[in-house]
Amino acid sequence: MKLNKILPLMLLLACSVSFAQPGKKKVKKLNTKKVQVVDSIKVSKIAEELPSTVVATGIKDTIIFDLKDMALARKKDSLWLKELYKSDLFEDIYNSVVNQEYDMVDYDELPTEVLKQRLKELDARTPFKVEYNPSLESVIKQYLKNRRGTLERLMGLSEYYFPMFEQELDKNNLPLELKYLAVIESALNPSAQSRVGATGLWQFMYPTGKMFGLDVSSYVDERSDPIMATEAACKYLKSLNNSFNDWDLALAAYNSGPGNVSKAIRRSGGKTNYWNLRDYLPRETAGYVPAFLATMYIFEYAKEHGFKKQSARIPFVATDTIKVKQQITLDQVAKLTNLDKEELEFLNPSYKLGIIPVIKDENYMLRLPLTHVGAFVNNEEAIYAFAQEEQEAAEKPMPELFEQPEKIRYRVKRGDYLGRIADRYGVGVSQIKNWNGMRSNTVKVGQNLIIYPKKSKQDIAVNSTPSQSDSSEKTYTVRSGDSLWSISQKFPGVTVQNIKKWNDISGTNLKPGTKLKIYKG
């Protein structure tokens, strides 16, 4: 079978179609050619000459597709997905916690008296101590003034993750507001990895993850599995609250470890109120609970502050899992389901190399939108046959070792991210990470990447677009005492990571007089 002559099974699995009831045939006559799609996935050469409208006849059904309309819809979805699923928020959130400042912020839209009343209402419905103080007011107003774009994207991601979190928190009789902890921990990025190796939505270190049943192998990191990691986080949080009998201290212990909280209590002379302990805690932990409470406030009063959520395209409740019976890659699933690679990686973040393995005594699952699950199961045998044939075709000495022209070096440009680069060359994000020994999705301007492109040079040229417009460039001169964080605060919507990328900065040291490019808009 020649793969380039296959009409992909996406014609059977596309989410815009409806399936006939079992045992019945539903056929619509069109002036077009028919392509027979059977379990062996054999497709005639006529697939190369298909017009814009296609009839795909399966074992039970005949389905009508308008490929032109479908392609346009998927293109729009793809652009939206790349924006929503970009994992560039983690560094910004992390820095906002570690480098938090508490100077008063001028923000007339939220009078202090209004904030006090809302915090009082919030305190009445949560076990956390949501009490007004000037430091908390400063953090809330900084977020509202300078982090609106970031927060709106996080609210969009929360539409997918929060129902999952709430279900598990409720099952463990824990406060539902703990869902906001994952926003602070990982910016709702299941692939997030901190500088010290904490990984996943709930940022488990390797030993702590193992303690709560999260395994890590060459193929799978269960710390990045949203459901398994949430279950483990609930167990850990419950144990911390049982130890300290105080949710604020439990949060502090989750961030820096129970040992640091216990030492802070001793050094303070026995104080147990978090706000009285902050000066005795690590700097990051000192900003941790204020960041959590500020996030809780803004999410709870998002409507009052005019936030417009980017809704998740697929709610968690509209997805389901399939136990994989044979090794298959997310790239293969993307081909056969007409789902975007970014979407599949978003739904299945624990597969480090983009491969779902089959291992004895392990139940590895593929998560798909409900619209695709039934079709996948109905055509499972054919799908695995396709995956097997493609795998056998690939099981040869690595061509990149012998055919140097196929390997390219790509220099990361301003505005690039892995999803954009992968799409340009027709490869997967996981493949680029594997080829370059990368552990996170972060790339830096000027970084060289090894890529084995699947697209032709002509395709790449057509699909390449400028990565950044220079129309809104501003120059900032570094002053004595400036840091990347303090400079980012001067420009709403600008992050530390932005400034690093725009100016090809790898470290954090700045010299007074240095000229930095800042892009607004």
DSSP 221: B
Q: Are 432 and 453 contacting, i.e. CB atoms less than 8 angstroms apart?
A: no
Which two structure tokens, joined as six digits, stand for 343? 């979407």
Rounded Cα gap, residues 84 and 80, in angstroms? 6
CA dihedral sign of residues 496, 501, 502, 507? positive
Q: Are 62 and 36 contacting, i.e. CB atoms less than 8 angstroms apart?
A: no
Rounded Cα gap, residues 324 and 356, in angstroms? 7
Per the residue annotation, which of 177, 185, 222, 342 is the catalytic one? 185
Rounded Cα gap, residues 331 and 323, in angstroms? 17
Kindly report the backbone phi and psi dihedral angles of residue 110, in degrees, each rounded to the nearest multiple of 5, phi listed first: -130, 90
Rounded Cα gap, residues 422 and 425, in angstroms? 5
Q: Are 477 and 490 contacting, i.e. CB atoms less than 8 angstroms apart?
A: no
Q: In what order do the strands lie in the sheet with 53-57?
A: 34-36, 53-57, 62-66
Rounded Cα gap, residues 461 and 463, in angstroms? 6
Rounded Cα gap, residues 518 and 502, in angstroms? 7
Residues 6+ apart with CB under 8 A from 230: 164, 165, 168, 201, 202
Pairing of strands 328-329, 408-411: unpaired
What are the DSSP calls for 7-48, one per residue? --THHHH-TT---PPTT-------SS-EEE--TT----GGGG
Which two structure tokens, joined as six digits, stand for 107? 């923000």
CA-based nearest residue to 391, from 340, 331, 451: 331
166 counts as catalytic:
no
Q: Are 119 and 297 contacting, i.e. CB atoms less than 8 angstroms apart?
A: yes
Q: Are 326 and 389 contacting, i.e. CB atoms less than 8 angstroms apart?
A: no
Rounded Cα gap, residues 311 and 82, in angstroms? 14
DSSP 299: H
Active site residues: 185
